[in-house]
Amino acid sequence: MTNFVPQMGSNNQGPWNDFENYCRSLASQGKEIYIITGPVGNIGTIAGGRIVVPQYTWKVVLILPNGSNDLQRVTRSTRAFGIVVPNFPPLNSNTPWRQFRVTVDAVENLTGYNFFSAIPINTQAIIERRRDVQ
């Protein structure tokens, strides 16, 4: 169970699925995408208390042109952002994933993780605080 968490249908079949499809479309356009995903929070348990139901699900993405030497391809204009999707009612499965977009910094603050730490600190700071608008 390291690759899935309990999600509301309106999350998993709505914005979460739409965002995964969006990432696939970027990959089919020749982009390389680093994707990190996980749960945060606890709104209860299932399976006799053995499995936590997360309050939110999140992803962060770093989008690069295809190529090699990934770190050399990261610039101050590299696109990086996150989404944080509630895993509790009311969540409409028709809500566009873009409404859940946040900065990478916001996901770091929520989770306590430091994403993309191999990127030079000045570049990392710029791309992680930028708001995505595409």
Averaged pLDDT for residues 26-36: 96
Q: Are the beta carbons of 81 and 61 closer than 8 angstroms?
A: yes
Residue 84 located in a structural domain: yes
pLDDT at 2: 63
CATH of residue 89's domain is 3.40.570.10
Domain of 34? 9-129
Query: Is a pLDDT exceeding 60 seen at residue 1?
Result: no
Q: Determine contact, residues 43/7, Cβ cutoff 8 Å.
A: no
Name the strand (E) or helix (H) holding 66. Answer: none
In a domain, 37, yes or no: yes
For residues 92 and 86, the answer to whether their CB atoms sit within 8 Å is: no
Per the structure, how many domains does the chain have? 1
- Provide the 3-class DSSP secondary structure of residue 16: helix
pLDDT computed for residue 72 by the predictor? 93
> Does 43 reside within a domain?
yes
Q: What is the pLDDT of residues 87-129, one digit of tens each?
A: 999 999 999 999 999 999 999 999 999 999 999 999 999 999 9
In contact, 94 and 14? CB cutoff 8 Å: yes
Considering only CA atoms, which of 63, 67, 66 is closest in space to residue 80? 63
Helix (H) / strand (E) containing 106 = helix 104-111
